[in-house]
Amino acid sequence: MSDNSAERIGGWLLGPLAWLLVQLLSITITLAKFGYVLLTPHTLALVKEMGGSNMLLLAASFLSFIAMWYYTLWLTIAFFKRRRNVPKHYIIWLMVGVLLAVKAFAFSPISDDLAVRQLLLPLLAAALIVPYFKRSQRVKRTFTRA
């Protein structure tokens, strides 16, 4: 195997890359839907009727969603550029995803079945990808650019 092929994104790294791309697409679609719903006249009227604390929570949720979208976009670009800090940030990104799923499980008024399903995928992804990023020699060889 040549040194060039060892540095390319391939093998098991395609799984984490696919997960990242799917999450970026999912966050983009959800953000677009959320923005569209927020800008309808009926929703704007409901938001104005909400109390200040509820409006603050809605704004914080929307801003955190935008921050997660930017972080996911940045991480996707860094992944393709094979930056050295990708494994560390990918693990952080996975842990933030798990924390957001736990937050939804604990605080959202949704059924427990739906919350568990939303929690299961981030937990499974973190359980599989984190050890791979920590121990894999291919990951160490692939992400070498400064």
Domain membership of residue 5 (yes or no) is: no
- Range of the structural domain that residue 118 is part of: 12-140
Per-residue pLDDT of 37-60, as tens digits, reads 888 888 878 877 877 777 787 788
Number of independent structural domains in the chain: 1
Domain membership of residue 22 (yes or no) is: yes
Q: How many C-beta atoms surround the C-beta of residue 68 within 10 A?
A: 17
pTM: 0.83
Domain membership of residue 121 (yes or no) is: yes
Domain membership of residue 135 (yes or no) is: yes
Q: How many C-beta atoms surround the C-beta of residue 109 within 10 A?
A: 5
Domain membership of residue 146 (yes or no) is: no
Assess contact for 83 and 143: CB atoms under 8 A: yes
Domain membership of residue 6 (yes or no) is: no
Domain membership of residue 51 (yes or no) is: yes
Instruction: Return the pLDDT at 34.
Output: 85
Q: For residues 72-92, give the mean pLDDT.
A: 95
All residues at 6 or more sequence positions from 45 whose CB lies less than 8 Å from its CB, including other chains: none
Domain membership of residue 75 (yes or no) is: yes
Helix, strand or coil, per DSSP, at residue 37: helix
